Amino acid sequence: MLFVGYFGNVPLVKKIPVRIAEGARERSGIIKALSYEEMVDFVNSAKRGYVFFKSVHPKYCRCRRAHFHRNKETAHSCMDYGNIIEIVPLIRRGNIRILDQEEVLQIVDEAREKLLVHTVTVYNHHEMFSVCSCCSCCCVGIVPYRHGVYEACEPSGKVAMSGEDCTGCGVCVKHCKGFFNTRKMVEKDGKQVAMPTDRCVGCGTCRDVCPESCIELVNKEEVALA
């Protein structure tokens, strides 16, 4: 059994037969976590002839429309990127607004300041994808992952390692618990330090809350994790 995150009145996490889940995943793609740097690179690599667009009101965010959103203070920061022909009808209805690259990067920067997790979803059935900066309360990738449904979000391939300056304050562990819940306190060289588990997705937001600025993203293949 795997998860499927549909919208509307269907539960955020629902157990369904594997064959159905695999089919849905093949058609719709899957959410992948990105670090801030990877998100910037992703935006800068946008193909010519395509546009970013976002809903002009938070209620058009798919997660919010599914009634999972409880963090009312979070500004809408989910954007889509696709063929202009496909979205013209939505523009005419006033539901979305086209953005230039500079605006997109500004939104990404503001999202980082708010400690949001950057994600991208590539849809396999058409040339379009979603670029989102998510809070921890409703994202269809983050919420299931936090509760052990690891098929919900694809890791970035990096992990957040604490350096020698880690004081064991636990700030990053508490922060991660609200998102992916993949950091823990371990004993190292006779002291308690915060380290990632093998489920760390490499989103990098723990770097931004670390009071010692001692967390670094490294390739997962280069380290041994618990």
Domain with residue 182: its CATH number is: 3.30.70.20
Global pTM value: 0.78
Q: Report CA Rg, the chain.
A: 18
Domain check: are 166 and 149 in the same one? Answer: no
- For residue 203, which of 226, 174, 182 has the smallest C-alpha distance? 182
> How far is Cα 151 from Cα 148, in angstroms, rounded to an integer?
9
Q: Which residues, listed in sequence order, are joined to residue 184 by a DSSP beta bridge?
A: 195
Q: Are strands 153-154 and 31-34 parallel, antiparallel or unpaired?
A: parallel
- Stretch among 40-54, 103-117, 147-161, 185-199 having the lowest mean pLDDT: 40-54
Domain boundary among the residues 154, 183, 204 is at 154
> How many helices (H) and strands (E) would you count in the chain?
8, 11
Q: Is the pLDDT of residue 70 over 70?
A: no
Tens of pLDDT, residue by residue over 105-125, are: 888 898 898 888 999 887 766
User: What pLDDT was estimated at residue 199?
Assistant: 94
Domain boundary among the residues 127, 154, 181 is at 154
Percent of the chain topping pLDDT 90: 31
**Side chain identity, residue 175:** H
Domain boundary among the residues 154, 172, 188 is at 154
